[in-house]
Structure 1
Amino acid sequence: MARLLAFIVLLIPALMAGAGIKFLRDTLFGKLISPFPWFWLQFVVGIVFLILGLGFFAGYLLNKDRKNGRIAPKYQKGPK
């Protein structure tokens, strides 16, 4: 059950990042999607979704690697 919950928690940011890429692609090709009245708004929402989705994954991986001791000393938490 815990693995399924972890999968769902990681699936949401992946879908968000995918939607961000789709919004950016549609803006690049000049296709306006219905909830957005302007291209610039669609582009900004796409950038935000992409950054939040990838940022969540990056933070998750950094935290997991810190627990397992597989990162460089400069990225370790605490005093140096």
Structure 2
Amino acid sequence: MGRFFVWVILIGVFVLSGYGLNLIRIAIVDKVANPDVVIWWKVLIGGVLMFGGLSFLGGFVFYRDRKQGKVRPPAWKTK
């Protein structure tokens, strides 16, 4: 049951990130079609959703791989 909730959270974050990218795309198309329209709020909200979603997914994968021992130490720390 726990894995089901993890999948629901991951898919939800992925969908929100995709929606943020779609908001940015729509804002750019609106600006090209009508130069008088204000798009800064769509780009800002879309960027926050996209960056937040991708950061969450990247952190999830990094944490999972580090827990399984698949992450090597950075090159500047090894001698």
Match of 2:43 in 1: 43
Opposite residue 3 of structure 1, the aligned amino acid is R
Task: Give the root-mean-square deviation of aligned CA atoms.
Answer: 2.0
Distance of 1:61 and 1:70 partners within structure 2: 11
Determine the C-alpha separation between the residues in 1 that align with 2:53 and 2:30.
24
Instruction: Find the aligned partners of 2:10 and 2:38 in 1 and give their Cα distance.
Output: 30
Q: Which runs of 4+ in 1 moved over 2 A?
A: none
**Could you tell me which amino acid in structure 2 is paired with residue 50 of structure 1?**
M
**Secondary structure, in 3 states, of the residue corresponding to 1:13?**
helix
Tell me the CA shift for residue 38 of structure 1.
Answer: 3.7
**TM-score, structure 1 length as denominator?**
0.80
SS in 1 for 2:30: coil
1:27 aligns with 27
Q: C-alpha distance in 2, partners of 1:15/1:38?
A: 25
Overall identity of the aligned pairs, in %: 27
Offset of residue 28 of structure 1:
1.1
Tell whether 2:67 aligns with 1:67: yes
In structure 2, distance between residues paired with 1:63 and 1:3: 16
Q: Deviations over 1:49-72 (max 9, x none)?
A: 000000000000000000011112
Residue aligning to 1:34 = none
Structure 2 runs not aligned, ≥5 long = 32-36
**Corresponding residue number in structure 1 for 2:4:** 4
In 1, the alpha carbon distance for the partners of 2:63 and 2:17 equals: 20
